[in-house]
Amino acid sequence: MLQAQIMDADFYPIVVDTHPAARRAASRRQAGSHRAAPARAAARSRAKLLFGLGALLLCLALLGLLGVRAAHWNEQRQQTQLLALVNPWNSVEHAGFTPELVDIGGGKQLDSRCAEALGQMLADCAAAGNEPVVASAYRTRETQEQLYQDKVRRLIDAGLSQEEAPSIAAMEVARPGTSEHELGLAVDLVDAANQALDQSQERTSTQQWLMANCWRYGFILRYPNGRSGITGIIYEPWHYRYVGPEAAGQITQLGVTLEEYLSMFYSEEANVVFEE
Ligand SMILES: [Zn+2]
């Protein structure tokens, strides 16, 4: 009898019944959750896509910004190089760059940044009825050394002492390492009919045209009359230095030398040394 009761109990499944209203609510929740699952997944993937796009746009914007900064830095570096001060107190090494030389004809070379401007200036000068000739462009250290030593020797031959000759020579031919010609940014231009490197150059129509117009092409007459105390070099109405059109225009308008211009606007950036 006892065994029969136990067996009967085993045959009755345990059913936990709930209130009909609760069952309906549970059923609705279940149905609702089945419908919401794909919508939530779609919303999640949309959010992921938007986040990815946002991150991509941010990266592109940052890269663009970096590109603009890099171009600006490069421009500044180029500008600083074009304004490099080379004089008896600031050597070519101080300028901190090596010229990228290109041929300009006649076995001469110049830095690529001013070769084209020189070509245009000479063409326009010739078109105005003049005959400009490039007497000297880029010089190696060895050439400058030779020119300087020749000058010292000539002065000694002319009667100057061994002590006096070097410093007087340096006023006319820069000591090796302090010549703008070693930068590749300077040229000596003369008139075909008068190729003497002396003050008579200023009377030629070629020099008069060049002095009046060189700034338009980014060049300045580097050693003007009466400024030897500042430049350290005698008046040279044939030596033109490329500084770029903007600086050349300002220097010409202000009527100053490169030394004065740099001390006015660039002394800190250029880290230049001026005569005491
Ligand atoms: Zn020169």
How would CATH label the architecture of 86-139+179-270? 2-Layer Sandwich (3.30)
pLDDT grade for 5, boundaries at 50, 70 and 90: very low
pLDDT grade for 71, boundaries at 50, 70 and 90: confident
Give the pLDDT of residue 76: 76
The count of C-alpha atoms lying within 13 angstroms of the C-alpha of 19, restricted to the half-sphere facing its C-beta, is 3
The beta-carbon contacts of 52-59 under 8 Å, at least 24 apart in sequence, are: none
241-264 pLDDT, tens digit per residue, is 999 999 999 999 999 999 999 999
**255 SS3 class:** coil
Distance CA 225, CA 234 (A): 8
92-108 pLDDT, tens digit per residue, is 998 888 899 999 999 99
Gap from CA of 49 to ligand 1 centroid (Å): 65
Cβ–Cβ < 8 Å for 204, 194: yes
Is 269 one of the annotated active-site residues of the chain? no
Cβ–Cβ < 8 Å for 102, 138: no
Give the pLDDT of residue 68: 81
Distance CA 226, CA 238 (A): 15
Of 17 and 230, the structure prediction assigns the larger pLDDT to: 230
DSSP type of residue 253: H
CA-CA-CA-CA dihedral for 25, 30, 32, 36, to nearest 10? 150
Catalytic residue among 142, 164, 180, 236: 236
Gap from CA of 138 to ligand 1 centroid (Å): 9
Domain spans of the chain, in order of start: 18-82, 86-139+179-270
Gap from CA of 179 to ligand 1 centroid (Å): 8
Tokens at 67, concatenated: 């590109």
Distance CA 76, CA 82 (A): 10
Rounded mean pLDDT of 126-140?
97
Strand-strand pairing, 186-191 and 239-242: antiparallel
The C-alpha angle 16, 17, 19, rounded to 5 degrees, equals 145
Task: Supply the pTM of this predicted model.
Answer: 0.73
Q: How far is CA 32 from the centre of its chain?
A: 66
Of 135, 241, 137, 232, the C-alpha closest to 191 is 135
Q: Is the dihedral of CA 240, 246, 252, 258 positive or negative?
A: negative
- Tell me how long the chain is: 276
Gap from CA of 143 to ligand 1 centroid (Å): 13
Gap from CA of 240 to ligand 1 centroid (Å): 7
Distance CA 228, CA 232 (A): 5
